Amino acid sequence: MKKVVVVGSLNMDLVMEVDRIPKIGETIKGEEMSYLIGGKGSNQAVAACRLGNEVTMIGCTGKDTFGDKVLKHLKEEGINIDAIKRDEVIFTGIATIFKTKDDNSIVVIPGANDFCDKDLIDKNIEAIKSADILITQLEIPIETVEYVLKVAKENGVKTILNPAPARKISKEILMNADFITPNESEFEIISGKLFKDGNELEESMINWQKENPSTRLVVTRGKDGSSYVDENEVETMKAIKVNVIDTTGAGDTFNGALAHGLSHEFSMNEAVTFAGAAASLSVTEFGAQTGMPKFEEVNNILDIK
């Protein structure tokens, strides 16, 4: 069993089902309201754990009802929660998700996630050192992201940076990220370019990879699959066609599954294919984590030995 450490956000997701996203200044009537455990860190930890990995979560919640529910849920999933700090003052992070039939829009209030700091990393350094792979995102302070990637890299631990919410990434961070996994819109922000079509996207991917040879770029492209650069050519793994119910956790499932593949020494092609299949399965049920598959479910599609 491989050891995966996830350093990142822990939220309570407030999901509002609506026919469409309201315009500025407009009030519309919603259909349903759900309370679900979320946060990109939490989601990626659950995704990796369900695939059969030993997962430790490092992050912060408040000492409130939402925090209680988040920790209870992660423990029930089989995730080690010993490295989660509970703050006495600040509230647990909240994400408000407006879910339409075809997509979603999200507003995140970080709360305790902003207190995931370097001290917390230092307190849990042994867990990081003993990991096979580490995943982090950008819903915690950027200084913490930079620091934990550096610590992991110095100790020979593979690292995945999921650059979401998107922002410009410093060279210091890229130096210590073995893999970076933006979606198309996030890659536009990282690269500083807007793409008219898939050809422009792929050309930019090739150029970016040449400029950043130590960080392997993987771009998730929704229904069009996932792409990476190999010997100055873009390789695209097609998405599996499924009945889409909720896309909220697809990217996080991809990252958790990619961590599984890379830590188990899959080839790049195999790891990206595996991650894409897991992400496709995840959108067939409502909720970011509800549809996240177990290894056997992905294996049934891909026949991995």
pLDDT class of 156 with cuts at 50, 70, 90: very high
Question: Can you tell me the distance from the alpha carbon of 6 to that of 241, in angstroms, rounded to the nearest whole number?
Answer: 29
pLDDT in tens, 104-155: 788 889 999 999 999 999 999 999 999 999 999 999 999 999 999 999 999 9
DSSP-derived letter for residue 299 is H
Q: Is 252 a catalytic residue?
A: yes
Q: What are phi and psi of 226, to 5 degrees?
A: -140, 145
Burial state string for 210-237 with b = 16 or more CB within 10 A and e = fewer than 16: eebeebbbbbbbbeebbbbbeeeebebb
Q: Considering the chain, what percentage of its residues have pLDDT values greater than 90?
A: 77
Kindly report the CATH number that applies to the domain delimited by 3-21+29-294. Answer: 3.40.1190.20
Residue 182, preceding bond cis, omega within 30 degrees?
A: no
In sequence order, which residues have a C-beta less than 8 Å from that of residue 259 and are 6 or more positions away?
4, 44, 48, 53, 133, 135, 160
DSSP H or E stretch at residue 35: strand 32-38
Catalytic residue among 87, 178, 246, 252: 252
Beta strand 179-180 with 158-161 is parallel
| Residue corresponding to tokens 């992991």 | 152
pLDDT average, residue stretch 83-103: 90
Provide the pLDDT for residue 27. Answer: 95
- What is the model's pLDDT at position 108? 85
Whether the pLDDT of residue 90 is over 80: the answer is yes
Specify the residue for token string 């917390």: 120
| 264-291 pLDDT, tens digit each | 999 999 999 999 999 999 988 887 788 8
The pLDDT value recorded for residue 304 is 52
Distance (Å, whole) CA 247 – CA 286? 8
d(CA 136, CA 147): 11
Cα–Cα dist 181/39, whole Å = 17
**Tens digit of each residue's pLDDT (9 = 90 or more) over 9-29:** 999 999 899 999 889 999 999
What per-residue confidence (pLDDT) applies to 105? 82
So what's the pLDDT on residue 305? 46
Asked whether residue 157 carries a pLDDT value surpassing 70, the answer given is yes
Q: Are 135 and 162 in contact (CB under 8 A)?
A: yes
